[in-house]
């Protein structure tokens, strides 16, 4: 594979990762509205484990919204953090070899999702299946980053050969 195609693939994968990162964070902006819609639409049976959990979460979110809506400001910052983290990937998009450390940082961050979910989840009363969903963000997120890291290594070798 030539440098141009490799660079194009790297940039595509970085863009995909950033888009998914921002989308996953942006959902925090509309937590109340999203949960209200899910509950009212009846997507999940009230008798199912997931349906019961979503209803419990909805009641907590509704209660907070009714009594202390200012707490959702923290959700706004969570969403903003996803956007800012996405901006960090501009460096490797522009110059992957020079900024490969950002990809390494992203890989480490994905790994750190798992112990956070496993430790903090039970402390906050989160059910095991939701903890697994949270862990999946790290597991799924690391895949494109590992691919990009491997491709950057190839690009680095191609650039060294050309020099």
User: Is the distance from CB of 148 to CB of 10 less than 8 angstroms?
Assistant: yes
Q: Which pTM value belongs to this model?
A: 0.88
- The number of residues in the chain equals 163
Which pLDDT does position 1 carry in this prediction? 76
Which pLDDT does position 162 carry in this prediction? 86
* Mean pLDDT along residues 80-104: 97
User: Is the distance from CB of 26 to CB of 79 less than 8 angstroms?
Assistant: yes
């Amino acid at each position: 594979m030539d440098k141009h195609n490799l660079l194009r693939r790297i940039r595509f994968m970085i863009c995909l990762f950033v888009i998914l990162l921002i989308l996953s964070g942006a959902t925090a902006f509309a937590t109340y509205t999203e949960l209200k819609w899910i509950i009212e639409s009846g997507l999940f049976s009230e008798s199912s484990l997931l349906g019961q959990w979503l209803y419990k979460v909805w009641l907590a979110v509704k209660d907070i919204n009714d009594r202390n809506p200012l707490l959702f400001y923290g959700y706004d910052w969570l969403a903003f953090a996803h956007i800012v983290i996405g901006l960090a990937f501009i460096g490797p998009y522009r110059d992957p070899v020079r900024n490969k450390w950002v990809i390494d940082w992203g890989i480490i961050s994905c790994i750190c999702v798992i112990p956070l979910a496993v430790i903090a989840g039970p402390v906050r009363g989160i059910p095991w299946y939701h903890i697994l969903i949270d862990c999946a963000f790290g597991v799924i997120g690391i895949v494109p980053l590992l691919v990009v890291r491997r491709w950057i290594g190839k690009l680095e070798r191609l650039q060294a050969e050309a020099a």
